[in-house]
Structure formats: structure tokens, C-alpha cells
């Protein structure tokens, strides 16, 4: 009788243990179902610990005192955009936000797969709107020796202005100011110099540009 009781207790323990192991599987399935959204999930911005330890920091660009000390960091959509200052350009011409032009400022990195997917799309948009006063600037917070060869290899697939934020002021004035930690993330600055939209470049970017140019876009309150 004692032997039979021992066998029964062993079975109960085994069954209880299997029930606990099934719980993580159910949680993983739920996570997988909820992660399939129409807009791809941005990758966390910044370099990994290994990259920070081994990659060179690149050239430091001086910041004009008048822009760095007087420029206000936006806190909400509709605020004046932060100036594109302290950037080291590896392709195209330096851009400054001026009235009358629309700007797409996109933050990306060479190690980010969704960013690489977005690059040809941004090039297509640049070609579509190049005659309508829309300026595209891709900004990475990596170093120049990392970004420049990547951009060169991309060639015509990455056909817009590309800069490296060697100082961090622009990243602070856009990504951090609006609480964004994932890339790629694009910001749209309208002809009045206001930040009016931000999001994934493969999302509503093209629609927003068209509405901003047409004067029909309403800044979310």
C-alpha cells in the first residue's frame, strides 16, 4: 500500500510540473500574435556595448554658439523644429531649416535591418518630391568611419543627404525631445519650420508629405 501511494504521488508531481511549463509557451504565443502590426517595430537606437568599446568616435563637429545656446528644444508637435546643427555630412549638402521648405529628418543606423529596408523607399520619396521643395536628411549617431563606407556602398539606393550626429545635439532635439528610442524614425518639418509629424518612414510618411505640401495636414493636438 505504501508503495502504491508513492507511485500515485510521483504522478501528481509530474503532472503539476508539466502544467507550469506550458504557461510560458502560451505567453510567447500571445506576444507573437500582438507583435504583428502594420508598421514595423523600430529597432532600439544607439550602438551596442561592444560597438562602443571598439569603434572609433569619428570627427567632432563644432556647434555654432548662437544656435546651441539659443535654440529651443521642441516639446510637442507644432513647436519650432530644432536646427540641423553640428552634423558631419558624408553625402549631399549641409541642410539648414529655412522657411518655405519641407524637411524629412530620418534617424537610422548601419546595423539596423529595418533602416536598410527603409533606405530605398526614402530615395523614391526624395525623387518624387525633389521639385516641390522637400529636403531629406538621414541622421546616424554612429561615427564617420562606420557610416561613410556604408553610404558609399549603397550608392544610388541611398540618394539623399546623409549626416552623422557626432555631437548628439540633433538626436537630442528630435529623438529624445519626443521620447523616441527606436529607429528608423522620421520627422516632418513643415514650411513654417514646425515639427508636425513623426513615425516609421514605411508608415504614413508619404501621405503626410503630400498633405503638408497641399496645406491640408492638421497637426495632432
- Report the predicted TM-score, pTM, of the whole model to 2 decimal places: 0.73
Question: Is the pLDDT score of 141 beyond 90?
Answer: yes
Task: Please check the confidence at residue 70 and state whether its pLDDT lies above 70.
Answer: no
Write out pLDDT tens, residues 105-119: 999 999 999 999 999
| CB-based contact 122:162 (threshold 8 Å) | no
Please check the confidence at residue 22 and state whether its pLDDT lies above 50: no
- Per the CB < 8 A criterion, the answer to whether 60 and 143 are in contact is no
Percentage of the residues of the chain whose pLDDT score is greater than 70: 68
Residues 6+ apart with CB under 8 A from 157: 119, 120, 123
The C-alpha angle 192, 77, 175, rounded to 5 degrees, equals 105
Strand partners, 105: 137, 187
pLDDT score recorded for residue 212: 98
**173 pLDDT more than 90:** yes
Position 39 pLDDT exceeds 90: no
Query: Which tens digit of pLDDT belongs to each residue from 188-205?
Result: 999 999 999 999 999 999
Question: So what's the pLDDT on residue 52?
Answer: 35
Within 8 A by CB and 6+ apart from 29, the residues are: none
Signed CA dihedral, 76, 81, 82, 87: sign only: positive
**Listed residue (171, 211, 157, 162) closest to 188, CA to CA:** 211
**Between β-strands 185-189 and 102-108, what pairing exists: parallel, antiparallel or unpaired?**
antiparallel
**Mean pLDDT for the chain overall:** 79
Mean pLDDT on 86-105: 96
Residue 193 vs residue 8, higher pLDDT: 193
CB neighbours of 135 closer than 8 A, spacing ≥ 6? Answer: 95, 101, 102, 103, 104, 161
Residue 41 vs residue 139, higher pLDDT: 139
Kindly state the average pLDDT of the residues 152-163: 98
Cβ atoms of 197 and 208 closer than 8 Å: yes
C-alpha cell at 157: 539606393
Higher pLDDT, 42 or 165: 165
Ordered DSSP codes for 67-89: HHHHPPPP-STTSBPPP--S-EE
Strand 43-44 versus strand 195-199 pairing type: unpaired
Q: What is the pLDDT of residue 3?
A: 43
Average pLDDT over residues 36-65: 45
When pLDDT is averaged across residues 174-200 and rounded to a whole number, the result is: 97
Residue 71's pLDDT band, with cuts at 50, 70 and 90, is confident
Amino acid at each position: 500500500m505504501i508503495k502504491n501511494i508513492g507511485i500515485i504521488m510521483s504522478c501528481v508531481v509530474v503532472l503539476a510540473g508539466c502544467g507550469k511549463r506550458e504557461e510560458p509557451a502560451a505567453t510567447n504565443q500571445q506576444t507573437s500574435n500582438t507583435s504583428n502590426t502594420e508598421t514595423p517595430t523600430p529597432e532600439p537606437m544607439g550602438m551596442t556595448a561592444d560597438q562602443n568599446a571598439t569603434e572609433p568616435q569619428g570627427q567632432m563637429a563644432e556647434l555654432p554658439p548662437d544656435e546651441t545656446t539659443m535654440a529651443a528644444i521642441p516639446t510637442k508637435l507644432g513647436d519650432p523644429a530644432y536646427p540641423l546643427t553640428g552634423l558631419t555630412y558624408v553625402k549631399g549638402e549641409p541642410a539648414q531649416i529655412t522657411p518655405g521648405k519641407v524637411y524629412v529628418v530620418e534617424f537610422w543606423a548601419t546595423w539596423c535591418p529595418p533602416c536598410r529596408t527603409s533606405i530605398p523607399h526614402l530615395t523614391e520619396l526624395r525623387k518624387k518630391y525633389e521639385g516641390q521643395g522637400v529636403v531629406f536628411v538621414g541622421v546616424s549617431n554612429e561615427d564617420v568611419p562606420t557610416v561613410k563606407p556604408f553610404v558609399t556602398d549603397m550608392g544610388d539606393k541611398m540618394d539623399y543627404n546623409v549626416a552623422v550626429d557626432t555631437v548628439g545635439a540633433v538626436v537630442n532635439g528630435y529623438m529624445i525631445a519626443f521620447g523616441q528610442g527606436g529607429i528608423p524614425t522620421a520627422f516632418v518639418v513643415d514650411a513654417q519650420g514646425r515639427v508636425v509629424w513623426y513615425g516609421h518612414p514605411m508608415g504614413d510618411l508619404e501621405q503626410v508629405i503630400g498633405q503638408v505640401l497641399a496645406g491640408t495636414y492638421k497637426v495632432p493636438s
